[in-house]
Amino acid sequence: MRTEKPKGRDGGLVQIERMIELEVDGRAVRVPEGSTILDACKKLGVDTPTLCFAENLTPVNACRVCVVELEGSRTLVASCSRKAEPKMVVRTDTERVRSSRKMVLELLGSSVNMSAAGEFENWCSQYHAEPERLGTPSHAPAVIDNDLFVRDYSRCMLCYKCVEACGDDAQHTFAIVMTGRGGEAKIATEFDVSLPESACVFCGNCVGVCPTAALQFRREHTLREAGEWDLAKQTVTKTVCPYCGVGCVLELHVQGDEIVRVTSPSDSSVTDGHLCVKGRFGWGYVR
């Protein structure tokens, strides 16, 4: 015979949120234990560029564009992953931080087509980065091996987000990995087979997290190739997936009365920003 178990809304688990106080650019800030320096920066409204970071993925410290100066640390630290600690003194606006970010932007921008990477161009002017002085990225045609999404390697900055979303941060399909070393490194399927021949289940969660449009919806790719892709003409409407009963929140990106892309907000308690093949791609019937 067993005794009764704890009852209540939290199942008897009491979550105590400890707060940590640190200093960023001379200002004190309190964040819950477990927060990162980036969280503290956000709380203070300190604008910090990020590329390989996503709210719904484990930080991998690949791009180094979010680095900050931390008192007592020999090197700059990645703010997206470094946990905040009591009494930390962080500086985000020093010459060292600025020149490091500038270098990262120039290295990325000279090796990869970053033109579709969100704020990239704004950051370049903010940090006086001139990628072209180091060279211009080479072009290669996108890999089109299925009707749902394309892989444009000339835009891939090797940020690992797609690998994480496909792997144990969300989808657990493990269809893609980083292969090769140094200049040969690239994201690939097992034995570099086409996506339809791989373990891919076409959830498109890799597309959803890609920061540079290296992974694009097929329709998006067609529009970009034709020079018709125009964010200014797009509306984004939040709604709910029409398929199973999980109720995934969808953001329908519409251009010219046509759905051109579907995403899910990473702060949705239902999806954490991830979708399945039907939610991501199964809207063709409304066109």
Point out which residues bind other proteins (CB under 8 A).
1-13, 146-148, 168, 170-172, 195-196, 200-203, 235, 237-250, 252, 254, 257-259, 267-272, 274-279, 281-286
| Shortest distance, position 111 Cβ to other proteins, whole Å | 31
| Shortest distance, position 179 Cβ to other proteins, whole Å | 22
Spatial distance between the Cα atoms of 270 and 277, rounded to a whole number of angstroms: 16
Q: Which residue, 89 or 240, is less far from other proteins as judged by CB?
A: 240
The DSSP element (H or E) to which 95 belongs, if any, is helix 95-111
| Shortest distance, position 258 Cβ to other proteins, whole Å | 8
Q: Which residue, 12 or 183, is less far from other proteins as judged by CB?
A: 12
Q: Which residue, 228 or 258, is less far from other proteins as judged by CB?
A: 258
| Shortest distance, position 192 Cβ to other proteins, whole Å | 17
Provide the β-strand partners of residue 78.
67
Contact 169, 175 (CB under 8 A): no
Contact 218, 149 (CB under 8 A): yes
| Shortest distance, position 10 Cβ to other proteins, whole Å | 6
Contact 247, 253 (CB under 8 A): no
| DSSP state letter for 3 | P
Q: Which residue, 154 or 243, is less far from other proteins as judged by CB?
A: 243
Contact 201, 108 (CB under 8 A): no
Instruction: Encode burial over 38-75: b for 16+ CB neighbours within 10 A, e otherwise.
Output: bbbbbebebebbbbbbbebbebbebbbbbbbbbeeeee
Residue type, 212: T
Q: Which residue, 123 or 202, is less far from other proteins as judged by CB?
A: 202
